[in-house]
Chains A and B, each alone.
Chain A
Amino acid sequence: MNSLSNLLDGFVSVLSVQNLLYAAIGVTIGTLVGVLPGIGPALTIALLLPVSLQLDDPTGTLIMFAGIYYGAMYGGSTTSILLNTPGESASVATSIEGYQMARHGRARAALATAAIGSFVAATISTVLLAFVAEPIATLAITFRASDYFALAVLAMVTVTAMVGASLARGLMSLTFGLFLGLVGIDSLTGQARFTFGVPELLDGVDVVTVIVGLFAIGETLYIASRLKDLPAKVAPLEPAKGGFAWLTRQDWARSWPAWLRGTLFGFPFGALPSGGAEIPTFLSYTVEKRRSKHQDEWGKGAIEGVAGPEAANNASFSGVLVPLLTLGIPTSATAAVMLAAFSYFNISPGPQLFEKSTDLVWALIASLFVGNVMLLALNLPLIRVWVKVLQIPRPLLYTGILVFATLGVYAVSGSVVDVLIAYAIGVLAMFMRRFDFPIAPVILGLILGPMMETQFRRALLLSDGDMSVFVTRPLTVTLLGLAVVALALPHLPKVWARLRGGSAQRLSFAEDD
């Protein structure tokens, strides 16, 4: 019950005025930005990094970031339901039925089942996180370099294999990220690699630069290339009717099992290195659709189709925090940015985190509970405010994104070369979107690649260059074996469908935000 008392300490620390303020700022900014079409949580955190560096308060800043992540997910669901433009791709599943509900005059019910479902899922999964994290961290202390190498391989393989419809495109994105990770001075030997004579490249390519380029610049340029195709109609919000929290008795009855099932999908898939929320949201959507007693409503606004995926989406965030906090392994683009945020404060997530920074970790976990209560209060009563945000004129919205993107890179690096690199990556990202390459593997390659190389070389140094370390240690072998299994996993839905005699429905996953 050590976890419980630690968690209580965490609550004590979060319930200070200052940390509550950070949480409030985080969830508000998160919702605000999540509502804006085209900006996801990863980009928001990347843009806010320069600001947070000045705060000099790691706990407060990380609490704020967690709030931003959750807020961005709530905001994303609002955008998908009212505008059918998912703010981030984990909301794609929600938008399918959610937008139909809004079109049929049930926008409030859709928003309510999304918000309450998110709250339920986040609360349950944060409890799970609180009790799972410390045992895993304890276990992880025994991990050696070869295990970390295998773990990084596993994370990379699974993320890539499951993201996007094409393995070739997923691998190409990953390879590009791995390459970006190689740029700069090799940490063990001082050898310059792929710097092309540019002195600014000796330090490597900064994560913030890459993220701003991939998400902000890339997305804006891509949208600019097809301005005419954009849907700009916000579904109207009907006047509030009866029912508790805008949901009728029947809505409640149909929503809650979907919330719980969504949570069950979301948390483990988030915790496994499988690339965040896309797989569980689509799994939840498929399962709810199969189980539904209201088949005629699907495609016209079935409430389960909103409740399940939204719950899965939020539950997966707590799941993603498990490998991030206990092993220091990011499994989604946003987790990769959070890892970068940790490193700016010289905190390295991993098994030692729970020993060295006990207060910080538990304050962070406790803040997830607090942030979710805030978000529930923020989203349902204030929904009209967020609808207003959706109506920001597009030219000004995208201009603003470009200004903040430039500012973010410039403030972190102070160098115009970095800004130009971000623009160049943005151009590449535009073409990646055009040709349907997933974006998240780039970030993961950038973060996991150097991690993998370092652990690989460290393992060899420890074993005096004996390659057999990778095949003799059971844990290492198991993890590498799992990586092979993960390559087969994306084909399971097909197999499963065939076993159940249903039609073979190919799941295709969108990328992380």
Chain B
Amino acid sequence: MSDTTHNPGAAKAAPGPIVAGGLMFAVGALLFAQALALAGERGYAPSGPALAPVIVTGLWVLVSLGYLAESIKSRAVPAEGGGSWRMPLLLLAALIVYALVLKYTVTGYVLATAAFVLATARLLSTRPVREVIFRDLLVAAGLSVGIYLVFTRLLGIVLPAGVLPL
């Protein structure tokens, strides 16, 4: 996912769309091969299960080629001001850790969510910690406890309680 973007100085040549198009074509080709394999087993009967996969992945391959051609043709156009990719990666890491902690540890919903809120708010914030820490703590505690109580008590949705005696 990051191949398209690790190169901020490349705005002039705008290779992003070309790389993206190439990747899409590669993925499409793999999926098309898989669809063809399925069709090999089950046949191409219009009422069978293999026709739609062959058509859709075939379309994928064609369209990605079209997109690739389009982006090669228009490569003179400068790319839009590319952003920084550090922040989305960090956010994504935080999200994955959050989900795994929720599922595979005994931390529980409230503690995991509060920690996630604090960490993410800090990541996205541009102000010094001491200016916002009180506000962030308040929101982290309020949000996590509030959601937990509303969902488990009022709506009957099970969320992991964890180590807290809730």
Query: Which A residues have a C-beta under 8 Å from some C-beta of B?
Result: 50-51, 54, 166, 168-169, 171-172, 175-176, 178-179, 182, 186, 188-189, 191, 193-194, 217, 220-222, 224-227, 229, 393-396, 398-400, 402-403, 406-407, 410-411, 414, 416, 419-420, 423, 426-427, 430-431, 434-435, 449, 453, 456-457, 460-461, 465, 467
In contact, A194 and B31 (Cβ under 8 angstroms): yes
B55 smallest CB distance to A (angstroms):
9
Q: When chains A and B are docked, how far (Å) is the Cα of A54 from the Cα of B88?
A: 34
Task: With CB as the reference atom, state the residue of chain A lying closest to B124.
Answer: A395
In contact, B124 and A467 (Cβ under 8 angstroms): no
Q: Is B161 an interface residue (CB 8 A)?
A: no
Q: Which of B127-158 contact A (CB under 8 A)?
A: 132, 135-136, 139, 143, 147, 151, 155-158
In contact, B99 and A420 (Cβ under 8 angstroms): yes
B138 smallest CB distance to A (angstroms):
10
16 sample A-B contacts, Cβ–Cβ < 8 Å, listed by A number: A169-B67, A171-B63, A172-B64, A191-B50, A224-B91, A225-B83, A225-B84, A225-B87, A226-B83, A395-B123, A400-B117, A400-B139, A406-B95, A427-B92, A434-B83, A435-B20
In contact, B63 and A179 (Cβ under 8 angstroms): no
Choose one: A398, A403, A430; the contact of B147 (CB below 8 Å): A403
A168-B66, A431-B20 in contact; A175/B151 too (CB < 8 A)? no
B8 smallest CB distance to A (angstroms):
11
Given contacts A176-B60, A178-B56, 4 further A-B contacts (CB under 8 A): A189-B48, A224-B88, A416-B102, A416-B103
A225-B85, A431-B20 in contact; A416/B100 too (CB < 8 A)? yes
Task: With CB as the reference atom, state the residue of chain A lying closest to B122.
Answer: A395
Q: Which of B86-134 contact A (CB under 8 A)?
A: 87-88, 91-92, 95-96, 98-100, 102-104, 113, 116-117, 120-126, 132
Query: Which B residues have a C-beta under 8 Å from some C-beta of A?
Result: 1, 4-5, 16-17, 20, 24, 31, 34, 38, 42, 45-50, 52-53, 56-57, 59-60, 63-64, 66-67, 70, 81-85, 87-88, 91-92, 95-96, 98-100, 102-104, 113, 116-117, 120-126, 132, 135-136, 139, 143, 147, 151, 155-159
In contact, B99 and A224 (Cβ under 8 angstroms): no
Choose one: B47, B104, B124, B132; the contact of A460 (CB below 8 Å): B47
- Which one of A220, A407, A426, A461 has the greatest number of beta carbons of chain B within 10 Å? A407
Majority secondary structure of chain A interface residues (helix, strand, loop or mixed):
helix
In contact, B56 and A456 (Cβ under 8 angstroms): no
Please indicate the chain B residues that have their CB under 8 angstroms from the CB of A189 in the complex. 42, 48-49
Q: When chains A and B are docked, how far (Å) is the Cα of A426 from the Cα of B113?
A: 19
In contact, B66 and A171 (Cβ under 8 angstroms): yes
In contact, A222 and B49 (Cβ under 8 angstroms): no
Task: With CB as the reference atom, state the residue of chain A lying closest to B156.
Answer: A54
In contact, A411 and B117 (Cβ under 8 angstroms): no
Task: With CB as the reference atom, state the residue of chain B lying closest to A401.
Answer: B120
B116 smallest CB distance to A (angstroms):
7
B97 smallest CB distance to A (angstroms):
11
Q: When chains A and B are docked, how far (Å) is the Cα of A430 from the Cα of B2?
A: 11
In contact, A453 and B52 (Cβ under 8 angstroms): yes
Q: When chains A and B are docked, how far (Å) is the Cα of A221 from the Cα of B91?
A: 7
Task: With CB as the reference atom, state the residue of chain A lying closest to B125.
Answer: A395
In contact, B120 and A395 (Cβ under 8 angstroms): yes
Choose one: A226, A402, A411, A435; the contact of B95 (CB below 8 Å): A402
B98 smallest CB distance to A (angstroms):
7
Please indicate the chain B residues that have their CB under 8 angstroms from the CB of A176 in the complex. 60
In contact, A402 and B91 (Cβ under 8 angstroms): yes
Task: With CB as the reference atom, state the residue of chain B lying closest to A409.
Answer: B99
A91 smallest CB distance to B (angstroms):
21
A166-B70, A229-B81, A465-B46 in contact; A423/B20 too (CB < 8 A)? no
A234 smallest CB distance to B (angstroms):
18
B79 smallest CB distance to A (angstroms):
9
B120 smallest CB distance to A (angstroms):
4
In contact, A194 and B88 (Cβ under 8 angstroms): no
In contact, A399 and B120 (Cβ under 8 angstroms): yes
Q: When chains A and B are docked, how far (Å) is the Cα of A460 from the Cα of B45?
A: 10
In contact, B63 and A435 (Cβ under 8 angstroms): no
Q: When chains A and B are docked, how far (Å) is the Cα of A465 from the Cα of B45?
A: 9
Q: When chains A and B are docked, how far (Å) is the Cα of A395 from the Cα of B57?
A: 39
In contact, A194 and B16 (Cβ under 8 angstroms): no
Q: When chains A and B are docked, how far (Å) is the Cα of A50 from the Cα of B135?
A: 29
Choose one: A194, A406, A431; the contact of B99 (CB below 8 Å): A406
B63 smallest CB distance to A (angstroms):
5
Q: When chains A and B are docked, how far (Å) is the Cα of A410 from the Cα of B63?
A: 34
B80 smallest CB distance to A (angstroms):
8
In contact, A403 and B116 (Cβ under 8 angstroms): yes
- Which one of B63, B64, B103 has the greatest number of beta carbons of chain A within 10 Å? B63
Task: With CB as the reference atom, state the residue of chain B lying closest to A190.
Answer: B49
Choose one: B16, B17, B120; the contact of A402 (CB below 8 Å): B120
A221-B88, A398-B124, A399-B120 in contact; A427/B1 too (CB < 8 A)? yes
Q: When chains A and B are docked, how far (Å) is the Cα of A54 from the Cα of B152?
A: 11
Please indicate the chain B residues that have their CB under 8 angstroms from the CB of A419 in the complex. 99
In contact, A396 and B139 (Cβ under 8 angstroms): yes
In contact, B56 and A182 (Cβ under 8 angstroms): yes
Please indicate the chain B residues that have their CB under 8 angstroms from the CB of A426 in the complex. 92
In contact, A394 and B20 (Cβ under 8 angstroms): no
Q: When chains A and B are docked, how far (Å) is the Cα of A189 from the Cα of B135?
A: 56
A54-B157, A189-B48, A423-B92 in contact; A175/B116 too (CB < 8 A)? no
Task: With CB as the reference atom, state the residue of chain B lying closest to A217.
Answer: B95
In contact, A407 and B67 (Cβ under 8 angstroms): no
Choose one: A194, A396, A416; the contact of B53 (CB below 8 Å): A194
Please indicate the chain B residues that have their CB under 8 angstroms from the CB of A402 in the complex. 91, 95, 116, 120
